[in-house]
Structure 1
Amino acid sequence: MAGGSAIRGSRVGAGPMGEAERGEAAPRVNITYYCANGHTVRPSFAEESGSEVPEQWDCPRCGFPAGRDPENPPAPPKVEPYKTHLAYVKERRSDADGAAILDEALAKLRERRIIV
């Protein structure tokens, strides 16, 4: 006698399929969204979900936002490049401000005789 499963030849989830086992499906409505790359997305929502249908949906092909107006899809998000700490400091201060702060810090160090 070979060892094995008590339910031989089955797999998980096997069994009769249909509405009787799962219950009736909720009525659905398909909404069409259009992205800036020309892709079309049609997710389905329950008619009686009680929630409103979103104005934008993420396109699964390119990741850009998709809107409901085919003539005017939403613009792709503007991605700003990574900035270093020095870049942020340079945005806040001019070169003259930086030189003044450096001179002030050097004067304080010279007073304490750390820098000669």
Structure 2
Amino acid sequence: MAGGNAIRGTRVGAGPMGEAERGEAAPRNRIPFWCANLHETRVAFASDADVPELWDCPRCGLPAGQDRQNPPPAPRTEPYKTHLAYVRERRSDADGDALLEEALTRLHQRRGA
């Protein structure tokens, strides 16, 4: 007895798919982009589409531009700062000592010391 699967051996998207079934492809332009590491990336855009000034390089992730001789520079990355580093930017050591003294005074008052 057959398994009852009438479309055995086929799956979604299987079979010959030609231009007649998909329709006409839009006219395209392949635009080259270069990153600071001189990786070339060619991206296909519709001929009537606006081409962006920058494109991310798929190899290294740096921004890429259309001028091979003058690729865009790598973005400057800021080092990771801890919470304490941000607090120290906002407060001086004297402010920190005053806040610590105030907190310790409140703690001693709560404990009855």
Fold match by TM threshold 0.5: yes
Quote the residue 2:97 is aligned against.
99
> What's the CA shift for 1:28?
0.1
Quote the residue 2:70 is aligned against.
72
CA distance in 1, matches of 2:24, 2:80: 51
TM-score by length of 1: 0.78
Q: Does 1:28 align with 2:25?
A: no
Quote the residue 1:39 is aligned against.
39
Structure 2 residue runs of 5 or longer lacking an equivalent are none
Identity of aligned residues (%): 65
| 1:109 and 1:115 in contact (8 A); partners too | no
Structure 1 residue runs of 5 or longer lacking an equivalent are none
Q: 1:16-61: per-residue Cα shift (whole Å, max 9, x none)?
A: 3211111100000111110111111111100123xx2110001111
| 1:56 and 1:65 in contact (8 A); partners too | yes
Aligned CA-pair RMSD: 2.5
Cα distance, 1:110–1:29 mapped onto 2, change above 3 Å: closer
Number of matched pairs:
113
TM-score by length of 2: 0.80
